[in-house]
């Protein structure tokens, strides 16, 4: 992530240190909300006066407002238009008040960004539109969007990528081992079913299916949800019966059991697979490879060399990331907004 020097300089001119300026830039760009714990993670400090210097400063300057949730945990909303204007993000809606559910999601997004700060993020709606329409050559109609209707007029505005989930181009040494293709992220919040995730996949489906290749990261604090998330992803984006080396080897194993009169070991699913695979892998080349595999034990790499078309990677790749916090402060709806003069109003 490359933060322009003039943006950091502008924030420092407001009285923030270089570290504070970098953190506030990330908050404004990706979330609009943060907790003290996130700032401590960003700076690798322990609780104490260090974090209070920042929170006291942003409240005194009326750049943020604080809301106390359960266990007296404060969530800060960086709302000042001045901050967003200085970093050329004046059109972002991150500074606006959000529901508790949306704030929860925004904090999960910021956790992901803070854990992976070196990726090349498409930071704004304009950045994403420019990348997919001009660089990838896709029509605007394929992008996920939402229409906002004016309250006092008949005008309406269509906005794109309103979920604000991170989209980035992976660095060569990214920790996920991602392919160098555009990468989408879904930040899951606990306590909900996966309906929102499935809705998200459907909304992005027209765009994702038009891409030559992409990665998707399911970021959740609950590892038990990852398996179901992957299955749903595969159902939509991965061809169920696409010929592959893995499928070929599976066919060889079942065929060997059949040829060696061990059909009793085959399940009904094995028999159904065998009937389909016989036609799928029909031909002299496959028969010759099967005999050689049965006699000599051809390796995966040797089979891939014989059938390079079967070793082509899927265009869609699914990855998971376990988020550091579930934010139980939102599970009990105990919240008190700081209405002191330091809380401030939008301006």
* Cβ contacts of 281 within 8 Å, gap of 6 or more: 243, 248, 251
Tell me, yes or no, whether 214 and 258 share the same domain.
no
Q: Is residue 347 part of a domain?
A: no
Are 219 and 307 contained in the same domain?
no
- Report residue 345's pLDDT band, with 50, 70 and 90 as the boundaries: very low
Q: Interior CA angle at 107 toward 112 and 151, to 5°?
A: 125
Average pLDDT over residues 8-13: 97
Residues 188 and 304 in one domain: no
Over the stretch 319-334, which tens digit does the pLDDT of each residue have? 999 999 999 888 755 5
Same domain, 119 and 137: yes
Tens digit of each residue's pLDDT (9 = 90 or more) over 21-62:
999 999 999 999 999 999 999 999 888 788 899 999 999 999
Distance of CA 338 to the CA centre of its chain: 32
State the total domains in the chain.
2
Q: Is the pLDDT of residue 313 over 80?
A: no
* Average pLDDT rounded to a whole number, residues 263-292: 90
Average pLDDT score over residue span 280-286: 89
Q: Are residues 97 and 206 in the same domain?
A: yes
**Contact indicator for 342, 59 with CB cutoff of 8 Å:** yes
C-alpha 330 chain-centroid distance: 21
Identify the domain containing residue 269 by its residue range. 245-311
Q: Are residues 214 and 170 in the same domain?
A: yes
Q: How confident is the model at residue 190 (pLDDT cuts 50, 70, 90)?
A: confident
Residues 83 and 133 in one domain: yes
In this structure, the answer to whether residues 138 and 279 fall within a common structural domain is no
Instruction: Determine the pLDDT at residue 332.
Output: 59
């Amino acid at each position: 992530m490359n933060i322009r020097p003039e943006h950091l300089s502008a924030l420092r001119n407001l009285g923030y240190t270089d570290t504070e300026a970098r953190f506030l830039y990330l908050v404004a760009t990706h979330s609009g909300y943060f907790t003290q714990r996130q700032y401590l993670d960003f700076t690798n400090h322990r609780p104490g006066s260090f974090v209070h210097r920042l929170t006291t400063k942003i409240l005194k300057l009326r750049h943020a407002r604080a809301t106390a949730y359960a266990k007296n945990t404060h969530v800060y909303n960086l709302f000042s238009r001045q901050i967003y204007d200085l970093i050329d993000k004046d059109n972002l809606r991150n500074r606006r008040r959000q529901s508790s559910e949306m704030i929860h999601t925004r904090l999960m997004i910021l956790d992901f960004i803070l854990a992976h700060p070196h990726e090349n993020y498409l930071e704004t709606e304009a950045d994403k539109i420019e990348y997919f329409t001009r660089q990838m050559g896709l029509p605007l109609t394929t992008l996920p969007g939402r229409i906002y209707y004016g309250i006092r007029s008949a005008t309406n505005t269509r906005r794109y990528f309103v979920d604000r989930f991170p989209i980035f181009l992976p660095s060569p040494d990214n920790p996920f081992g991602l392919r160098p293709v555009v990468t989408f992220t879904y930040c899951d919040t606990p306590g909900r079913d996966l309906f929102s995730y499935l809705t998200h996949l459907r909304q992005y489906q027209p765009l994702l299916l038009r891409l030559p290749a992409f990665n998707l990261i399911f970021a959740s604090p609950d590892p038990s949800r990852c398996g179901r998330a992957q299955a749903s992803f595969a159902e939509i984006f991965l061809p169920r019966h696409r010929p592959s080396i893995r499928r070929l080897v599976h066919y060889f194993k079942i065929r060997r059991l059949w040829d060696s009169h061990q059909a009793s070991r085959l399940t009904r699913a094995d028999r159904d697979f065998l009937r389909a695979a016989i036609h799928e892998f029909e031909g002299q080349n496959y028969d010759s490879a099967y005999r050689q595999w049965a006699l000599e034990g051809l390796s995966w790499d040797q089979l891939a060399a014989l059938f390079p078309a079967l070793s082509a990677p899927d265009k869609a790749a699914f990855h998971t990331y376990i988020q550091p916090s579930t934010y139980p402060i939102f599970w009990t709806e105990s919240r008190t907004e700081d209405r002191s003069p330091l809380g401030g109003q939008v301006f």
